[in-house]
Amino acid sequence: MDRRSFLSSLGAVAVAPTLAACARGASTADSTGPMAQSAARLPLGVQLYTVRSEMAKSVEQTLARLAQLGYREVEFAGYYGRTPAQVKAALAAAGLTAPSAHLGLDLLTGEKRAQTLADAAAIGHEWVVLPWLAPNQRGGIDGYKRLATTMNDIASAAQQAGLKFAYHNHDFELTPVEGQLPLEVLMAETDAARVKFELDVYWTVKAGTDPLAFLNAHPGRIAMLHLKDATAAPAREMASVGAGTIDWAAVLARGIAKGTVSHAFVEHDNPSDVWASVSASAAWLKGQGLVASR
């Protein structure tokens, strides 16, 4: 099941520059020394879309096992029939926090929005994130400008509910449309104080954009990171963290240095072995001293 189908099945409660500088082993000032060590301030987190098959079996057991692997934070993508109170209790039992949740555009607009935001606040989320746009929600540059207006409106409603709002990218927002990059349009057309972004490092690399340069160009706009690795060009296939070519020390350090990145979530959309993937990513990040784990 792809992300579009997955998100559409959820209810509000049931639910470029060169890549050389980013390749592992590249000689960059950010890869070593005190700046790289600052990345340890980010707690080890995981996006629960990665383990959606396990969440469907048992939310409680899945959260407990992730905690055993050293994860401290999780980002939700659906609540699997649990009420906000049940989700909050499951997190507490596992000793985890959930600063963020991915919620579809249908849940963040219209008549479902008020309940969606109330549930997010009740669970204890800090962020609500728009994770995906179906093709019919994209359009041309004018369509992205209209979306930016909608995002400003969502951010305002989220703020009133005591929450923050961010947008999560894939590669299509970094593919030129009418001579412009949609992600750049969304950044330019949204309120910088209220609309932040969750940079998916893999999809950024997949699109041929250097994440280090992107972080440099947008200080203060990137609040969170998604960590999944990419194999070498031209394939740039998705891989568990540490099994690809991305220089994570540089990326994490640069994100923190640019001011607002406070959460980083491991993710893999379709791993062949769910538990092997999240285990390998956690072990590699901990082994490199790049995250704070349990």
pLDDT of residue 260: 84
Q: Give the integer Cα–Cα distance in Å for 31 and 24.
A: 9
pTM across the whole model:
0.89
39-90 pLDDT per residue, tens: 347 999 999 999 999 999 999 999 999 999 999 999 999 999 999 999 999 9
Query: What is the mean pLDDT of the segment spanning 122-147?
Result: 95
Q: Give the integer Cα–Cα distance in Å for 158 and 7.
A: 20
Q: Give the integer Cα–Cα distance in Å for 175 and 204.
A: 10
DSSP result, 96-144 = -EEEEEE--HHHHSGGGHHHHHHHHHHHT-SEEEE----GGGT-SHHHH
Question: What domains are defined for the chain?
Answer: 32-287 (3.20.20.150)
pLDDT of residue 3: 53
Query: What is the mean pLDDT of the segment spanning 105-113?
Result: 98
Mean pLDDT, the chain, rounded, equals: 89
The answer to whether residue 22 scores a pLDDT higher than 50 is no
pLDDT of residue 41: 72
The answer to whether residue 161 scores a pLDDT higher than 70 is yes
